[in-house]
């Protein structure tokens, strides 16, 4: 791997091609440790970024460290400009993208709000295992928190430390509305199935493939990070694979993320399983959206707080 802990790709550098500068490496690589040794020998001190990544068992700062961009980048102004670091900071604080399978921004259709506002809220709450708050709003358990869905204001809020905070994430609102409008009497069967066993399995191909690759890239070599991110979302440990968690996204929608660590022979692997009852409540596109949502929150590793509106 010719990428430095900081994220610089040495393999596309002319100095590296000329042999002027050796390949750096991740904070977990032999190349990184060798480079640190060479820097200490030749320069008298290591690159503070590389040293910090090695000491903290961080593979790549921009991907794996919650503190990026830290003062090791800011103070030394190397290897990235202030403008680049500011852009990273700003975009990391924004909610995750809300995109459809074809890459378009998700918009919550007005008729969903209309349908909810004109439904029998008591009946909706009974089927969805939600709690009616007023004639037009409900409280819906969501991961390790709750959503307040207000059909009159056409807004959603999330409970952050017992405070309702406005959500700025259309995909979360869309999945919540679809669940409220479509949840049936069925309850989870405690029988797990893979995507191939769903009746709508043909849907999950090409652009509709479940979004799990980003989670695998982030945590395939970092099971401890996966555990922390899963627990920040209220994941419950289940005794499967090398490390697995159950997420109760909505009361009748448990989903499971199973991680197998990589070794010299086999790469790391990640699989998502569903309760067999999921298709009694949700169509394929909503299942796709829910996995997208959970995967993005896992990659961000900060629980549900990335969903809120800032500023």
List contacts with ligand SF4 (CB under 6 A): 4-6, 8, 24, 47, 49-50, 52-53, 56, 58, 61, 65, 67-68, 70, 72, 79
What's the closest the beta carbon of residue 15 comes to ligand SF4, in angstroms? 11
Position with the least CB separation from ligand SF4:
4
Shortest distance in whole angstroms from residue 3 CB to ligand SF4: 8
Q: In this structure, are residues 174 and 112 in contact, taking their beta carbons and an 8 Å threshold?
A: yes
What is the number of other CB atoms lying within 10 angstroms of the CB of residue 62? Answer: 14
Q: Residue 67 or residue 242: which is nearer to ligand SF4 going by CB?
A: 67
- Reading the block at residue 193, the tokens are 């199935």
Which is closer to ligand SF4, CB of 50 or CB of 177? 50
Q: In the sheet that 145-150 helps form, which strands lie side by side, from edge to edge?
A: 131-134, 137-142, 145-150, 155-159, 164-166
Please, which residue, 55 or 152, has the CB nearer to ligand SF4? Answer: 55
Which CB atom, from 90 or from 114, has the smaller least distance to ligand SF4? 90
SS3 label, residue 130? coil
- Shortest Cβ distance from residue 69 to ligand SF4 (Å)? 7
Taking only Cα atoms into account, the Rg of the chain, rounded to an integer number of angstroms, comes to: 22
Smaller CB separation from ligand SF4, 91 or 199: 91
CB of 148 to ligand SF4, least distance (A): 35
- Pair of tokens at residue 214: 């980003």
Q: Which is nearer to ligand SF4, 62 or 262 (CB)?
A: 62
CB contact set of 206 (below 8 Å; sequence gap of 6+): none
For residue 46 the two structure tokens come to 């290591």
Q: Which is nearer to ligand SF4, 65 or 293 (CB)?
A: 65
Q: Rounded to the nearest whole angstrom, what is the least distance from the CB of residue 74 to ligand SF4 in the complex?
A: 9
What is the 3-state secondary structure of 292-310?
Answer: HHHHHHHHHCCCCHHHECC
Q: How far is the CB of 37 from ligand SF4 (least distance, A)?
A: 12
Task: Report the C-alpha gap between 85 and 93 in whole angstroms.
Answer: 13
Closest CB 89 distance from ligand SF4, rounded Å: 12
DSSP strands (E only) in the chain: 131-134, 137-142, 145-150, 155-159, 164-166, 192-193, 236-238, 243-250, 253-260, 269-275
């Amino acid at each position: 791997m010719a990428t430095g802990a900081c994220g610089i790709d040495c393999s596309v550098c002319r100095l590296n091609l000329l042999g002027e500068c050796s390949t750096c490496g991740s904070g977990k690589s032999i190349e990184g440790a060798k480079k640190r040794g060479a820097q200490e020998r030749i320069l008298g001190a290591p690159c503070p970024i590389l040293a910090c990544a090695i000491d903290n068992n961080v593979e790549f700062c921009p991907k794996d460290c919650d503190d990026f961009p830290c003062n090791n980048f800011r103070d030394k102004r190397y290897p990235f400009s202030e403008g680049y670091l500011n852009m990273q900071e700003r975009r990391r604080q924004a909610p995750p993208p809300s995109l459809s399978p074809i890459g378009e921004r998700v918009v919550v259709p007005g008729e969903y709000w209309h349908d909810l506002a004109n439904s029998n809220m008591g009946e909706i709450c009974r089927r969805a295992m939600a709690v009616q708050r007023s004639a037009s709003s409900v409280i819906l358990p969501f991961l390790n928190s709750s959503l307040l869905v207000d059909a009159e204001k056409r807004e959603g809020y999330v409970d952050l430390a017992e405070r309702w905070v406005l959500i700025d994430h259309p995909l979360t609102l869309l999945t919540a509305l679809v669940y409220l409008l479509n949840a049936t009497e069925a309850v989870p069967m405690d029988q797990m199935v893979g995507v191939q066993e769903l009746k709508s399995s043909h849907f999950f191909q090409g652009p509709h493939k479940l979004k799990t690759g980003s989670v695998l890239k982030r945590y395939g070599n970092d099971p401890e990070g996966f555990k922390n991110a899963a627990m920040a979302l209220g994941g419950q440990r289940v005794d499967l694979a090398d490390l697995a968690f159950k997420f109760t996204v909505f009361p009748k929608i448990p989903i499971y993320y199973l991680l197998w660590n990589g070794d010299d022979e086999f790469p790391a692997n990640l699989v998502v399983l569903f309760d067999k009852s999921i298709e009694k409540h949700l169509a394929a596109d909503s299942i796709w959206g829910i996995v997208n949502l959970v995967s993005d929150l896992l990659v961000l590793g900060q629980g549900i707080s990335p969903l809120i509106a800032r500023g």
